[in-house]
Structure 1
Amino acid sequence: MNPDAEIDHGAPLTPYRQLAEILRAQIRRGDWQPGRMVPSEAQLVQRYGIARTTVRRALGLLADEGWVYAVPQRGWFVSDPLPPSPDAPAPSA
């Protein structure tokens, strides 16, 4: 997905999955380095015009996939190391 995409409420993909794809693409592009904070939930709500619960679901999905992690009372941070991209070659044994 395009890292600069907007949320399309008429698309078949749910808004939280769209946001997760957008944020994943931004992390891959290097917008936030591993160990750095991603924009706050409030900033993402305002930027994409979606509900806070939608933002939390997207961040939770990315956390489950290993892209980000939460620090209580601080926010969400990019994981280090990042998970392998699905199109990356598998490491040889």
Structure 2
Amino acid sequence: MADALRAKIDSREWPPGHKLPGEVTLAQTYDVARGTVRAALDALREEGRVVTFTGRGTFVTPEGDRNP
């Protein structure tokens, strides 16, 4: 799951500043459990690729795009 999200960031389908779909939407899109989405997002947060703001959502960081 994290690899799929990384690919969207790296390809610039989700550029810096882009708001990611919500956990439920991602779980439905990838046909995985919500916990799997949370684990993937946790990994991306640890890598500095995304940041989450309570009540606003998860966004790609400027540093998240590793392939300018």
Query: Is TM more than 0.5 here?
Result: yes
Q: Relative contact order (C-alpha < 8 Å, sep 6+): which is higher?
A: 2
Letter in 1 for 2:20: V
Give the alignment's Cα RMSD to 1 decimal.
Answer: 1.4
Letter in 2 for 1:24: R
The match for 1:7 is none
1:22-61 paired onto structure 2 within 5 Å: 22-61=4-43
Letter in 2 for 1:62: L
Q: Does 1:79 align with 2:65?
A: no
Gaps (5+ residues) in structure 2?
A: none
Q: TM-score of the superposition, structure 2-length normalised?
A: 0.88
Whether contact under 8 Å (1:66, 1:83) holds in the other structure is: no
Bigger helix fraction: 2
**Cα separation, 2, equivalents of 1:59 and 1:26:** 13
**Cα separation, 1, equivalents of 2:11 and 2:30:** 19
- Larger Rg belongs to: 1
Misfit runs of 4+, over 4 Å? none
Instruction: Say how many residue pairs are matched.
Output: 67
Give how far 1:83 is off.
6.0
* Percent of paired sites with the same residue: 42
Gaps (5+ residues) in structure 1?
A: 1-18, 86-93
Whether contact under 8 Å (1:37, 1:78) holds in the other structure is: yes
